[in-house]
């Protein structure tokens, strides 16, 4: 099979397209004939070497955390899916940029009927991050106010839609050229972070989903109601500030969860969620990663194994 390989850490131009042996499904795993593999910021952060202390990887490795495609084979003890099933999932921290990939069956779900496999390949990581942030960690309830920073990005755009599904009033922070897009996703109000001082936002909100970190995160504490929640998959919020403002700080890492993905698939089929993708051939993985590093705007980037 064809796969993208990294023999050293660095910029995307260190990546190589090679022929490698097919992986084999182990116990509790399935082998997937990949149709689409999403391109995510975590991919180029790992490739850069910036996360070696937290995610040590033997070289060479194949980037890619999410895929969609058909089940080719099942490993011992794997019984949830049959050969030929169309599945998608957050598979691991590596392995997605390839013609075939293995994944724990517990991390997979059947594709939404309303999406192509290429579209679905760009959904699991961002949708699960948004879902876990808002439901598990923030416990969003109907009628609450939720502020989402970097709302036009992959996680942010999913979070806007999921927060609306949960019955929240959504305030989205993004550049002005993304405001129409975000209103189309359901955002009730938008903030142009380049021209508006978001710290002056009133009334106070119940939840801040921080997808930026650093100063944006620190300044967001003042926007929260007492006993509100600041949740971020980007970095650990300041505990001292959280105590000063009387709010709950949460930092978390996204996990694969087939049950949650199945619910997300239902929301796509009900028309409550949508995703727009820009596809690249597998051979153009370096260009796709560069585009991701450049904060390309709204929509998702995905590698198309058929091209």
Q: Tens digit of pLDDT for each residue in 251-305?
A: 999 999 999 999 999 999 999 999 999 999 999 999 999 999 887 567 799 999 9
CATH number at residue 80: 3.90.180.10
Q: What is the model's pLDDT at position 62?
A: 98
pLDDT in tens, 213-227: 999 999 999 999 999
Mean pLDDT computed over 30-59: 94
Mean pLDDT computed over 31-45: 97
Mean pLDDT computed over 46-60: 91
Q: Which residues contact 240 (CB under 8 A, 6 or more apart)?
A: none
Do 257 and 101 contact (CB within 8 A), yes or no?
Answer: no
Cis status, amide bond into 62, omega within 30 of 0: no
Task: Tokens for 83, please give them.
Answer: 């050969």
Q: What is the model's pLDDT at position 296?
A: 59
Q: What is the model's pLDDT at position 241?
A: 96
Q: How far apart are CA 145 and CA 203, in angstroms?
A: 9
CATH number at residue 173: 3.40.50.720
Mean pLDDT computed over 87-116: 97
Q: What is the model's pLDDT at position 297?
A: 66
Mean pLDDT computed over 147-164: 96
pLDDT in tens, 64-82: 999 999 999 999 999 999 9
Same domain, 91 and 9: yes
Number of domains in the chain: 2
pLDDT in tens, 161-210: 999 999 999 999 998 999 999 999 999 999 987 777 788 878 899 999 99
Instruction: Please state whether beta strands 205-209 and 145-149 pair in parallel, antiparallel, or not at all (unpaired).
Output: parallel
Q: What is the model's pLDDT at position 149?
A: 96
pTM listed for this prediction: 0.96
In a domain, 265, yes or no: no
In a domain, 260, yes or no: no
% of the chain beyond a pLDDT of 70: 99
Query: Does residue 101 carry a pLDDT above 90?
Result: yes
Same domain, 28 and 96: yes
Q: What is the model's pLDDT at position 198?
A: 82
In a domain, 55, yes or no: yes
Q: How far apart are CA 254 and CA 268, in angstroms?
A: 20
Q: Which residues contact 263 (CB under 8 A, 6 or more apart)?
A: 131
Same domain, 11 and 67: yes
Q: Which residue has the higher pLDDT, 92 or 228?
A: 228
Label residue 34 exposed, middle or buried (CB < 10 Å: 0-12, 13-18, 19+): buried
Q: What is the model's pLDDT at position 115?
A: 98
Query: Does residue 54 carry a pLDDT above 90?
Result: no
Same domain, 26 and 69: yes
């Amino acid at each position: 099979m064809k796969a993208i390989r990294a023999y050293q850490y660095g910029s995307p131009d260190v990546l190589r397209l090679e022929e490698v042996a097919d992986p084999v499904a182990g116990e509790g795993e399935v082998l997937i004939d990949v149709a689409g593999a999403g391109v995510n910021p975590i991919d180029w952060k790992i490739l850069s070497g910036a996360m070696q202390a937290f995610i040590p990887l033997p070289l060479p490795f194949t980037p890619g955390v999410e895929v969609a495609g058909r089940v080719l084979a099942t490993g011992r003890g794997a019984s949830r899916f049959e050969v030929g099933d169309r599945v998608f999932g957050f598979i691991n921290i590596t392995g997605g940029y390839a013609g075939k990939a293995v994944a724990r069956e517990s991390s997979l779900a059947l594709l939404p009927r309303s999406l192509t496999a290429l579209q679905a390949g760009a959904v699991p990581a961002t949708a699960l991050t948004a879902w876990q942030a808002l439901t598990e960690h923030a416990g969003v309830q109907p009628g609450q106010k939720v502020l989402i920073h970097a709302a036009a990005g992959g996680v942010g755009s999913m979070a806007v839609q999921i927060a609306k599904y949960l019955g929240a009033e959504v305030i989205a922070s993004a550049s002005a050229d993304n405001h129409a897009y975000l209103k189309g996703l359901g955002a009730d109000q938008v903030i142009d972070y380049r021209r508006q001082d978001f710290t002056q936002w009133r009334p106070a909100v119940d939840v801040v989903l921080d997808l930026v970190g650093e100063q944006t995160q620190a300044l967001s504490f003042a926007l929260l109601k007492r006993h509100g929640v600041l949740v971020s998959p980007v970095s650990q919020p300041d505990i001292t500030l959280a105590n000063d403002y009387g709010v709950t700080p949460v930092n978390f890492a996204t996990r694969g969860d087939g049950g949650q993905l199945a619910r997300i698939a239902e929301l796509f089929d009900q028309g409550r969620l949508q995703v727009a993708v820009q596809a690249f051939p597998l051979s153009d993985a370096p260009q796709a990663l560069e585009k991701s590093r450049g904060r390309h705007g709204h929509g998702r980037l995905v590698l198309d194994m058929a091209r």
